[in-house]
Amino acid sequence: MSEDETRKDDRSVFRTILGWIIYLVIIVLLTYLIVTFVGQRTRVSGSSMETTLSDGDNLIVDKISYRFRDPKRYEIIVFPFQYEDNTYYIKRIIGMPGETVQVKDGYVYINGERLDSDIYGNELMEDPGIFEEPVTLGEDEYFVLGDNRNHSSDSRDPSVGIIKGSNMIGRAWVRIYPFSKFGVIKHE
């Protein structure tokens, strides 16, 4: 083999290695951008969203929708728990900004009217918590509940309270595990 052929082979190996490095950098960069701005995997821990979501369900959270539109009533959202790092809550939006919310006789009242369209709660609420008296939500404030109302730490609990829209990570979008329940999560 001549010296020119050896140099060509060395350059070919170098180009192949460089190509793989560039490919891996692009994959890592795209993964980072997707996880940071588009979607994130999260795992349901606990029974507060039964029967809609179960303990151990794995979800993809849509992090981009709320950049283009406001959250809607009954959407299932993910937000960080304010008192513990790397802990996220999954709840359903019930009260919207500007509304007056009260929990009375086990039901949610919005602006003094019982919210009859709330078909997601498994039972009447036993504890109204901090919403025993009417509370008017401010701009960018939301009242959230778990579907398993009597087994949920949600807006009624002072440790959770009212959720700011700016603190929402996103909305639950797709259940990816268990495979038998794989699919888009219905919000309404």
pLDDT of residue 12: 80
pLDDT tens per residue across all 188 residues of the chain? 566 666 666 778 888 898 999 989 998 888 777 766 677 888 888 889 988 898 999 998 999 899 899 999 999 999 998 777 778 899 999 999 999 999 999 999 999 999 988 888 878 999 999 999 999 999 999 999 999 999 999 999 999 999 999 999 999 988 988 889 888 887 66
Beta bridge partners, 110, equal 101, 113
pTM exceeds 0.75 for this model: yes
Question: Is 91 labeled as catalytic in the residue annotation?
Answer: yes
* Set 12, 63, 91, 164: catalytic member: 91
The predicted structure's pLDDT at residue 151 = 92
Say whether 8 is catalytic: no
Residue among 48, 63, 152, 155 flagged as catalytic: 48
At residue 3, the pLDDT reads 64
Contacts of 173 (CB under 8 A, 6+ apart): 39, 59, 60, 61, 62, 184, 185
Rounded to whole angstroms, how far apart are CA atoms 161 and 62?
23
Which pLDDT belongs to residue 153?
Answer: 92
